[in-house]
A and B are shown apart, each in its own frame.
Chain A
Amino acid sequence: QVQLQESGPGLVKPSGTLSLSCAVSGGSISSNNWWSWVRQPPGKGLEWIGQISHSGGTSYNPSLKSRVSISKDMSKSQFSLKLNSVTAADTAVYYCATVGIAVGRLYFDNWGQGTLVTVSS
């Protein structure tokens, strides 16, 4: 089974850019998979951020679309998240996940352990 590991700064200043990477092991990032980011504010529920397909196509949560970008680097076997103009409301545990897709269904079948990002000066 594919293993995922998030990495990146744990502290970002307000109005700055949050940048995280997700290292993929035990499988190929060029395989026929979709790769996603999900976040969870402390003590709250889960929120889908966006995803990137095996061919590089992306889709984002409309509430974040103007600030978010997801890309992948096949040479490093990783995919990345950038979120601009962050505020305290973006403080959360950020998870990367693989996406299971079929007709009528989309779900997250494998998750990284998550990384806490705090937005504070």
Chain B
Amino acid sequence: QSVLTQPPSVSGAPGQRVTISCIGSSSNIGARYDVHWYQQLPGTAPKLLIYGNNNRPSGVPDRFSGSKSGTSASLAITGLQAEDEADYFCQSYDSSLSGPLFGGGTKLTVL
């Protein structure tokens, strides 16, 4: 079964840097498919945060960055702010699914 694994939760104090990992396999991230990240604020729809591993849509602060290596990817948030408290999801394409696959999501708590 195709899976993208994320930690259920991460936390950090205002101003700190946090990272969220996304571990895949040879049928998705390891197959050189790009990784994308979404931010879901409480009670709202997901919003595209990072696309193509490390590209930010217009309007997304440069405090957010993405990286990918091998079968895993990471989202980094620097200068943590209270408004960053949200759920974050990674997503890639999976050849076994023949479609997009989401990670289970990570809840970020700003202490």
A residues bordering B, Cβ < 8 Å? 45-48, 50-51, 59-62, 95, 100, 102, 104-114
Report the nearest B residue to A36, measured CB to CB: B100
CB contact between A114 and one of B45, B100, B102 (< 8 Å): that residue: B45
* Contacts A62-B98, A106-B93 supplied; 5 other A-B pairs, CB < 8 Å: A46-B89, A105-B36, A105-B93, A108-B46, A109-B51
CB contact between A47 and one of B32, B34, B102 (< 8 Å): that residue: B102
Contact call B99/A59, Cβ cutoff below 8 A: yes
Q: How far is the CA of A60 from the CA of B100 in the complex (A)?
A: 10
Chain B residues near A113 (CB, 8 Å)? Answer: 44-45
CB contact between A107 and one of B44, B45, B48, B105 (< 8 Å): that residue: B48
Report the nearest B residue to A63, measured CB to CB: B97
Contact call A48/B34, Cβ cutoff below 8 A: no
Contact call B34/A105, Cβ cutoff below 8 A: yes
Q: How far is the CA of A46 from the CA of B97 in the complex (A)?
A: 15
Chain B residues near A114 (CB, 8 Å)? Answer: 45
CB contact between A108 and one of B34, B48, B97, B104 (< 8 Å): that residue: B48
Chain B residues near A110 (CB, 8 Å)? Answer: 48
Chain B residues near A62 (CB, 8 Å)? Answer: 97-98
A108 in contact with B89 given A45-B103, A95-B45 (CB within 8 Å) = no
Contact call B91/A108, Cβ cutoff below 8 A: yes
Report the nearest B residue to A48, measured CB to CB: B100
Q: How far is the CA of A113 from the CA of B46 in the complex (A)?
A: 9
